[in-house]
Amino acid sequence: MQKNIAVIGLGSMGYGMAQSLLRAGHTTFGYDIDAETTQRLQDEGGTVGTLAEVADTLDAVLVVVLNALQTENVLFGSDGVVGRLKPGAVVMACATVAPDFARQMATKCEKAGVHYLDAPISGGSVKASEGALSVMASGTKDAFAAARTVLDATASTVFELGDCAGTGSAMKAVNQLLAGVHIAAMAEAMTFGMTQGVEPAQFVEVISKCAGTSWMLENRAPHIVAGDYTPHSTIDIWPKDLGIVLDVAKSAKFGAPLTAAALQQFLAASGSGLGAEDDAAVAKVYARNAGLTLPGDT
Reported in sequence order, the residue ranges of 40-82 that DSSP labels E, i.e. its strands, are 60-63
Are the CB atoms for 170 and 148 separated by under 8 Å? no
| C-alpha span between 285 and 269 (Å, rounded) | 6
Reported in sequence order, the residue ranges of 94-202 that DSSP labels E, i.e. its strands, are 115-118, 121-122, 133-137, 155-160
Catalytic residue among 172, 209, 250, 284: 172
Is 172 known to be catalytic? yes
Are the CB atoms for 58 and 92 separated by under 8 Å? no
| C-alpha span between 287 and 284 (Å, rounded) | 5
Are the CB atoms for 185 and 171 separated by under 8 Å? no
Closest Cα to residue 259, out of 173, 193, 170?
A: 173
Contacts of 261 (CB under 8 A, 6+ apart): 184
User: Long-range contacts of range 288-291, CB-CB < 8 Å, 24 or more positions apart?
Assistant: 290/191, 290/194, 290/195
242 burial level (CB within 10 Å; 0-12, 13-18, 19+): buried
Instruction: Write out the catalytic residue numbers.
Output: 172
